Amino acid sequence: MSRLQGRIALVTGAASGIGLATSLRFAREGATVLLVDRNDVALRAARAALPEDGHETVVLDVTDEKGWIALAERIAARFGKLDVLVNNAGFGKFGSIADTTLDQWRSIIAVNLDSVFLATKYMLPLLAASGRGAIVNMSSIRGIVGAPNTGSYCAAKGGVRMFTKATALECAAIGNGVRANSIHPGHIATPLTAPAYTDREIARTLLADVPLGRIGEADEIADGILFLASDESRYMTGGEIVIDGGSTAQ
């Protein structure tokens, strides 16, 4: 049975990696997918990879508040509701605290954390209109356990984790039917991480940290996101799913 039949699902960072794998999975499960990304060219290629009709692309920088307001108006006019919001867009730039400039810090916080706040703020009325809205926020194992030279990324992803819990509790208190959960991947092979995994020394260090002994696939994260987006997780809110080959179990 299709787990997202008839649902409208918005995925940010949909043009690549985990966001693209999630969009494909959602489409196969019957959802109409709104693919959001700032990369116009990659977005068109991603849309072409989706087999069914009805899906739409939106070129948007997820840190752009006015863009979110305009998108909320567009979804309200077109669909009148939103069933699933996946706040996936993000990136990390790693370096010591001493070497990180304030501008670099702010850009990591903006893309990974401000974006989740903006999307939640402007999509919440549409998710409430669904009656069973589901928010899935992309954190990381770096939102749970720290590591050297990842200060801004850890701060952003830890912020996503706690913002998700606050969102879940606020929605439960209002009783608007919206659930919010976070997802925490470990080392996953995507265009974002390709440079690290092609460097043998870095890849060896990372793998030493993974009990299952391999790097994860984007599809393996999409499976977790699908669970959190579907009714299978209907009694879950403010929770988190860690998909990391056992890295944080040690």
* Residues lying near ligand NAD in the complex (CB under 6 A): 12-13, 15-19, 37-39, 42, 61-63, 88-92, 111-112, 138, 140, 185, 187-188, 190-193
Residue 103 beta carbon to ligand NAD: minimum distance, rounded to whole angstroms: 15
Interatomic CA distance for residues 204 and 149, integer angstroms: 18
Residue 213 beta carbon to ligand NAD: minimum distance, rounded to whole angstroms: 16
Residue 218 beta carbon to ligand NAD: minimum distance, rounded to whole angstroms: 6
Nearest CA-CA partner of 139 in 105, 92, 88: 88
Nearest residue (CB) to ligand NAD, 19 versus 158: 19
DSSP 111: I
For residue 152, CA distances in Å to 97, 123, 159, 219, 236 come to 8, 26, 10, 27, 29
First-to-final CA distance of the chain: 37
Interatomic CA distance for residues 42 and 47, integer angstroms: 9
Nearest residue (CB) to ligand NAD, 39 versus 100: 39
Nearest residue (CB) to ligand NAD, 130 versus 228: 228
Residue 192 beta carbon to ligand NAD: minimum distance, rounded to whole angstroms: 3
**235 part of the active site:** no
Nearest residue (CB) to ligand NAD, 89 versus 124: 89
Interatomic CA distance for residues 184 and 142, integer angstroms: 8
Q: Which residue is nearest to ligand NAD (CB)?
A: 17
Task: Provide the annotated active-site residues.
Answer: 153
